[in-house]
């Protein structure tokens, strides 16, 4: 009888990651293992602290353990699973953790790569870097190093008081590099401050206002030349439609966990193709397991801007997969094995992780 196991692993980050909502010192991840003749894996993109989203590891584990596991006992088909999971409100990241594991399982049972199933074309994807808030000199060194490594685009985290002056300095030192900023909702009521960033020729300004404030985002977009990119605001296809209809942004950062899985993600991918909306894939400092999925979805040509997918060694001393992701000239190669294409390093996971759920399904 198959068993569902959830491991909690804590991987220290090489550099602490500071955003407008806090500092993260490690990636504390829930890793899902479906254990049978075929083994499948998923990662919950939640964190220990609910700063980016209301979901955290505690709520994700609760939703999986008390509700989603019952649905999993009825079906192993990812789309049917998501249909049935609709009766549970919200909790997209918890749902996505299980649903993406089911996609890995389905692909492996059909002896296919997930890339083939989603009709992905690319053999390598463009890599962008997301750089946290750092002391100015350290930030400058990090940017210089990122350019040297070949990253295709540089994204800086900003917050009120850490924005215009920093950008001025970065443009002075590095000229016309492909540059973006991410505010993680920190400028609510400070729209004027965002307008001062318009002159830095940024590729976009990511999520300046609260996730629900489509009206405010729409008003702000009308005053800006720089396109707004939505991250936290997009919980599914309806939000993508609202963004377009209201002109509350012009670019979408897709995160599979935030929209509740791969099924919903593909609807957004199609929507962006039909409406010519620039699309890229965000990240949540995932381990190699969640990262593999991010790499795979970006093989679709609709992803036409570099994502926040860096190689494993940007984040961790040692990743929890057998072959860590590496970057060459700003590209990450797409794994081609069955399912999500990577093998978790179970010896390492058993050693550093603890089992937080184990149940026959």
Which residues lie near ligand OSB (CB under 6 A)?
A: 52, 130, 182, 184, 231, 282-285, 308, 310
Asked about 223 being catalytic, the answer comes back as no
Query: Two tokens at 49?
Result: 């602290």
CB of 47 to ligand OSB, least distance (A): 7
Query: Two tokens at 86?
Result: 């609709």
Partner in contact with 284, chosen from Mg ion, ligand OSB, none, beta carbon below 5 to 8 Å by kind: ligand OSB
String marking each residue 217-256 x if it binds Mg ion according to CB under 5 A: --------------x-------------------------
Active site residue: 106, 152, 155, 157, which one?
Answer: 157
Which CB atom, from 104 or from 206, has the smaller least distance to Mg ion? 206
Stretch that binds Mg ion, among 15-23, 164-172, 199-207, 284-292 (CB under 5 A): 199-207
Which of 313, 308, 286 is closest to 298 using CA atoms?
Answer: 308
Q: Does 182 bind Mg ion (CB under 5 A)?
A: yes
Active site residue: 255, 274, 343, 351, which one?
Answer: 255
CB of 59 to ligand OSB, least distance (A): 16
How much is the CA Rg of the chain, to the nearest whole Å?
20
Stretch that binds Mg ion, among 182-190, 197-205, 273-281, 340-348 (CB under 5 A): 182-190
Which CB atom, from 132 or from 353, has the smaller least distance to Mg ion? 132
Number of residues that bind Mg ion (CB under 5 A): 3
Q: Does 308 bind Mg ion (CB under 5 A)?
A: no
CB of 4 to ligand OSB, least distance (A): 26
CB 317 within 8 A of CB 26: no
Chain-centroid distance of CA 345 in Å reads 22
Asked about 255 being catalytic, the answer comes back as yes
Q: HSE (CB half, 13 Å, CA atoms) of 185?
A: 14
Q: Per DSSP, what are the bridge partners of residue 128?
A: 153
Q: Are strands 331-333 and 327-328 parallel, antiparallel or unpaired?
A: antiparallel
Q: Which long-range contacts (CB under 8 A, 24 or more apart) does 86-90 make?
A: 88/63, 90/54, 90/55
Question: Is the four-CA dihedral 332, 135, 52, 221 of positive or negative sign?
Answer: negative
């Amino acid at each position: 009888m198959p068993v569902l196991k959830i491991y909690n692993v804590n991987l220290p980050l090489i550099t602490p990651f500071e955003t407008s909502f806090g500092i993260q010192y490690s990636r504390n991840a829930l890793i899902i293992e479906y254990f049978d003749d075929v083994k499948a894996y998923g990662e919950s993109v939640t964190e220990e602290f609910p700063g980016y989203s209301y979901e955290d590891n505690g709520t994700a584990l609760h939703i999986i353990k008390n509700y989603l596991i019952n649905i999993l006992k009825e079906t192993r088909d990812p789309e049917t699973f998501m249909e049935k999971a609709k009766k549970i409100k919200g909790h997209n990241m918890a749902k996505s953790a299980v649903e993406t594991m089911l996609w890995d399982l389905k692909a492996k049972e059909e002896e296919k790569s997930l890339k083939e199933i989603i009709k992905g074309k690319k053999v390598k994807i463009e890599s962008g870097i997301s750089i946290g808030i750092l002391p100015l000199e350290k930030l400058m060194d990090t940017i210089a190093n990122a350019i040297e490594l070949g990253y295709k685009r540089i994204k800086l985290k900003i917050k009120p008081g850490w924005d215009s002056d920093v950008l001025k300095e970065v443009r002075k030192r590095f000229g016309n590099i492909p540059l973006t900023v991410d505010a993680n909702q920190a400028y609510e009521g400070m729209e004027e401050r965002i307008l001062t960033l318009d002159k830095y020729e940024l590729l976009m300004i990511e999520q300046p206002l609260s996730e629900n404030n489509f009206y405010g985002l729409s008003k702000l977009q009308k005053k800006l030349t720089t396109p707004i990119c939505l991250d936290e605001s997009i919980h599914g296809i309806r939000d993508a439609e609202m963004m377009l209809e209201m002109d509350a942004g012009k670019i979408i950062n897709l995160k599979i966990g935030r929209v509740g899985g791969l099924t919903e993600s593909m609807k957004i991918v199609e929507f962006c193709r039909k409406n010519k909306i620039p699309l890229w894939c965000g990240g949540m400092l995932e381990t190699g397991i969640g990262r593999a999925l991010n790499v795979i979805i970006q093989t679709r040509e609709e992803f036409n801007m570099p994502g926040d997918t860096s190689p494993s060694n940007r984040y961790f001393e040692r990743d929890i997969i057998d072959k860590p992701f590496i970057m060459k000239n700003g590209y990450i190669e797409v794994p081609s094995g069955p399912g999500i294409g990577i093998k978790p390093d179970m010896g390492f996971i058993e050693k550093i992780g603890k089992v937080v759920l184990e149940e026959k399904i």
